[in-house]
Structure 1
Amino acid sequence: MRSFKPSIESLEALPILDRVKLDARRTAVIVVDMQNEFANPKGKLYLPSTQQIIHSIRSLLSKARQKKATIVYTMDTHYPDDLEFKDWGQHAMKNSWGWRIIDELKPEHDDIVVEKSRFDAFYNTMLDDILRTRGIENLVIVGTVANICVLATIAGAYMRGYRVYVPINAVAYIDELSLYIALYQASKVYRATLVEKAENVEFE
């Protein structure tokens, strides 16, 4: 069997905007799977880089709420004997501690919560209907993890005609290579706009 190992030095630089301003009435912030299972040190699939993005997500949500932008939280949600457990082990069981969103990012009264059973938040959920009912055209997608649920949700958004913005410092990752691959796919294939910081996303 042959193997393939890319050279990090050969990887293409990606275009990143310093800042962006979006119409709050047409924009939703999608917070992907910031649950105890993934973003709390006691979680079964804890990812340390989630700790680095909490502040940036909170800053983004604060600005979005001030301008009345739509905020959606996705929750990885599973039941006994889920097929996904063969690959990842049992996790994010409905109503368990690991399933709950971390305390630092608790949804507020007007926020929307969408439960999903697969990587893509649009798959077999009402997310698309919710967004279209509100006249949403732009999605700012943040959360965990870059090359799995975040990328799958970006792909789902692209397939449905949404414009996607990804603040890089608000996306958790396994390692730098997987982050790069996710951002490359998001930018080159799914035409997402990469933004340097969540703090530089403005709403009007």
Structure 2
Amino acid sequence: MSDSAASGPRPAGRAAILVIDMQHDFVDDDAPIACPGAQDIVPAIRRLCATARAAGLPVIYTRESHRRQRVDFGLELEYGETLHCVEGTRGIEIIDELAPEPDDYVLIKRRYSGFFATDLDLLLRGLGVDTLVLTGVATDVCVRATAQDGLQLDYRVIVAEDCVAGTSRARHDAALEHIGYVLGRVMPVAQVTALLGLDHPR
């Protein structure tokens, strides 16, 4: 997957790092929707974000959030998902190790995609961004949904494969294969920084 991802034109314009849903309800060992390996990707995401900030690239976080009355879950709970990311709970918070910095952006989302019913597209266009580097969880749910919507809105999509984790290893691998086939490019973070002309993370 990485070899094929390295081919093709270099992204033009400006990139942004998108940190998707690195919240306790997905990252903790006892999370209601635990993503195996989510804690292992934290150092790589931190280094990538630090490198991006140093280069003047925007870092944007999404945070899944649901009202306690459950009126904005849609059909998620009908299809087997456990109650998660409810306002007022610890589970909704971004983990301390990846806490946003003052100049970062944080978007609340109610559904899987970072674009659906949010102002992410408006923010990216205001920032002059045309290339998205996706990190976070879950590869097979919110990362994949955001990649698809990003492509449909004409953003170049890159997934840093060592900065994402899925709801299972099998679903993670299948999602990366699907994203690399038709939605964007999948590559290690070292290739991402090289592709974007950034220094390698320290």
TM > 0.5 fold call: yes
What code does the residue aligned with 2:173 have? Answer: Y
2:158 is matched with which residue?
165
**CA distance change for structure 1 residues 183 and 72 in 2, over 3 Å: closer, same or farther?**
same
| CA deviation after TM superposition for structure 1 residue 22, in Å | 6.4
1:137 is matched with which residue?
130
CA RMSD of aligned residues (A): 2.2
Contact 2:6 2:191 (C-alpha < 8 Å) held by counterparts: no
| CA deviation after TM superposition for structure 1 residue 41, in Å | 2.1
| CA deviation after TM superposition for structure 1 residue 48, in Å | 2.6
2:189 is matched with which residue?
198
Aligned counterparts of 1:47 and 1:124: Cα–Cα separation in 2:
24
2:147 is matched with which residue?
154
| CA deviation after TM superposition for structure 1 residue 45, in Å | 1.7
CA offsets 1:114-171 (integer angstroms, 9 cap, x no match): 1111111100000000000111011000100111100000001001000011111111
Aligned counterparts of 1:134 and 1:50: Cα–Cα separation in 2:
29
Aligned counterparts of 2:11 and 2:99: Cα–Cα separation in 1:
24
**Higher-Rg member (1/2):** 1
Please list, as runs of the form range in 1=range in 2, the aligned pairs for 1:1-204 lying within 5 A after superposition.
15-17=4-6, 26-79=14-67, 80-81=69-70, 82-83=73-74, 84-86=76-78, 87-190=80-183, 192-195=184-187, 197-202=188-193, 203-204=196-197
> Runs of 4 or more off by more than 3 Å in structure 1?
20-23
Residue segments in structure 1 that go unaligned for 5+ positions in a row: 1-11
Residue segments in structure 2 that go unaligned for 5+ positions in a row: 198-202
| CA deviation after TM superposition for structure 1 residue 179, in Å | 2.0
Aligned counterparts of 1:13 and 1:71: Cα–Cα separation in 2:
24
Aligned counterparts of 1:176 and 1:14: Cα–Cα separation in 2:
21
| CA deviation after TM superposition for structure 1 residue 17, in Å | 2.7
**CA distance change for structure 1 residues 22 and 52 in 2, over 3 Å: closer, same or farther?**
farther
Deviates more, 1:103-112 or 1:181-190: 181-190
**CA distance change for structure 1 residues 145 and 74 in 2, over 3 Å: closer, same or farther?**
same
TM-score normalised by L of structure 1: 0.85
Deviates more, 1:83-92 or 1:155-164: 83-92
3-state DSSP of counterpart to 1:137: strand
Aligned counterparts of 2:84 and 2:173: Cα–Cα separation in 1:
26
What code does the residue aligned with 1:152 have? Answer: A
TM-score normalised by L of structure 2: 0.85
| CA deviation after TM superposition for structure 1 residue 13, in Å | 9.1
